[in-house]
Chains A and B, each alone.
Chain A
Amino acid sequence: NAGVTQTPKFRILKIGQSMTLQCAQDMNHNYMYWYRQDPGMGLKLIYYSVGAGITDKGEVPNGYNVSRSTTEDFPLRLELAAPSQTSVYFCASSLTGTANLWYGYTFGSGTRLTVV
């Protein structure tokens, strides 16, 4: 039972380069999320998806794009990387739930990205 798998674990990009961070889950969760975590800070939501074909912006979407063609995969695309995008990126997933029956988030292990 793999849970949420993120690749790569580490990456160094040059300014202006592009890359895709991969995220896959095998729990049949309908919700998926991308967060970034800067040193000493909490997690900020970049994008999220409520199901295949449906995505929406979070708090800090500028400079990123996402797609959700399948339930399992939710890649995050960085176009024209900038030093401000140096961060640790976490993918998470969850199931739809009610107020009293919700199972919470499962997180991946993260991708540490440095833009130089």
Chain B
Amino acid sequence: KQEVTQIPAALSVPEGENLVLNCSFTDSAIYNLQWFRQDPGKGLTSLLLIQSSQREQTSGRLNASLDKSSGRSTLYIAASQPGDSATYLCAVRRETSGSRLTFGEGTQLTVNP
């Protein structure tokens, strides 16, 4: 059974800091990994999607990396801003699960002005 773990569960940083959110998964036989952002009381917004043959994806101040052999992904946020405050969830698509995603429990990020 695939398990997805996100550490830390919560993180508070001052504005301007560069930070890394971690995601680990137990089954390395995955196709894709998708990072989402969730604002309080809202739905999930896709941030970055890493395809099977890719090792990283970048969008603006965000960079996500994927190392399937070690079962790890990181989401790097550069020059954090108060508007980045949200919960960040990672999800993996296993080779044996069709299009179903398995989600981690998320990291709640607070960026303080």
Contact = CB atoms under 8 A, between A and B. Distances in A.
Interface of A: 31, 33, 35, 40-43, 45, 48, 50, 58, 90, 92, 94, 96-97, 99-110, 112
A50 B91 CA distance: 19
Contact of B31 (A35, A102, A108, A109): A102
B32 A42 contact: no
Interface stretch (B41-49, B58-66, B73-81): B41-49
- Interface size of B as a range: 20 to 34
A100 B51 contact: yes
Interface string B70-113: 00000000000000000001010101001111011110000000
Interface of B: 4, 31-32, 34, 36, 41-46, 49, 51-54, 89, 91, 93, 95, 98-101, 103-106
Contacts of A107: 36, 43-46
9 contacts: A42-B89, A50-B98, A58-B100, A94-B99, A99-B31, A104-B46, A104-B49, A108-B43, A109-B42
A39 to B, nearest CB: 11
A69 to B, nearest CB: 20
Contact of B46 (A99, A101, A105, A110): A105
A23 to B, nearest CB: 12
B72 to A, nearest CB: 17
B103 to A, nearest CB: 4
Given A48-B100, A100-B51, 16 more contacts: A33-B100, A40-B105, A42-B89, A50-B98, A50-B99, A90-B44, A96-B99, A97-B99, A100-B52, A102-B31, A105-B46, A106-B46, A107-B36, A107-B43, A107-B44, A109-B42
Name the residue among B52, B53, B54, B95 with the largest chain A CB count within 10 angstroms: B52
Which of A48, A99, A106 gathers the greatest number of chain B CB atoms within 10 Å? A99
Contacts of B41: 112
Nearest to A29: B99
A66 B38 CA distance: 26
A40 B41 CA distance: 12
